[in-house]
Amino acid sequence: MRIIKLGTLLALVSLLAGCATMSGSTPAQKRQSVMNMKNEVLTELFKLKPDTRKQVSAAPGYAVFSNVNVNIIFASFGGGYGMAKNNKTGKVTYMKMGEVGLGLGAGVKDFRAVFVFHTKGAYDRFIEHGWTFGGQADAAAKASDKGAAVAGEAIIDNVSVYQLTQSGLALQATLKGTKYWVDEELN
């Protein structure tokens, strides 16, 4: 039984690593992959919530991330990549993310997150420190365009967060910490 559990955990971690990586082998190709993901996510967000287009363009900055989350009974793990843009200077910062949580749940979820920073201070704190801690409760059952995903919009510390579920099957209620950090390879 222990070998089956370990095998399942390794398979899920492999799936997580495969889904949460950007394409390309050179830094320039990886940066282009991140920008393509950003464009797709913002296009989808603007289609679903047209008012967010003005909110993103008027904000001091925003960030877009691709994340895969694996939840196994009492533990949750996730990882991904993304970018943050300072709207005033136009500077793009490429970033990575990782998360660990405790709670009840099962499943794998591939989702995108958009952060809109309403103050320069909130944007600067995210780039310099990048740490968030919070709870999450959601349900997702989605494959391509089929299925449904319940995700939220939250406003915390002058930051609006929008989550878009791409695919996965998950039911979870977790308390987790997420770390965002600058990707030294791509900056």
Tell me the average confidence (pLDDT) per consecutive run of 10 residues in the chain, 187 residues long.
Answer: 46 44 86 96 92 96 89 76 97 93 65 92 92 52 41 70 66 64 95
This prediction has a pTM of 0.75
pLDDT of amino acid 153: 56
Domain boundaries, position 177 = 2-182
Which of 102, 69, 72 lies closest to 5 in space, CA to CA?
Answer: 72
pLDDT of amino acid 142: 39
Which of 74, 71, 146, 151 lies closest to 107 in space, CA to CA?
Answer: 71
Domain-embedded: residue 106: yes
Domain-embedded: residue 187: no
Q: What is the DSSP annotation of 14-81?
A: HHHHHHT--S-SSHHHHHHHHHHHHHHHHHHHHHH-THHHHHHHHSSEEEEEEEEEEEEEEEEEEEEE
Give the whole-angstrom CA distance, residue 94 versus residue 63.
9
* 165 Rama class: left (phi>0) / alpha (psi -120 to 50) / beta: beta
pLDDT of amino acid 150: 38
Domain-embedded: residue 61: yes
pLDDT of amino acid 77: 79
Domain count of the chain? 1
pLDDT of amino acid 78: 84
Domain-embedded: residue 114: yes
Domain-embedded: residue 116: yes
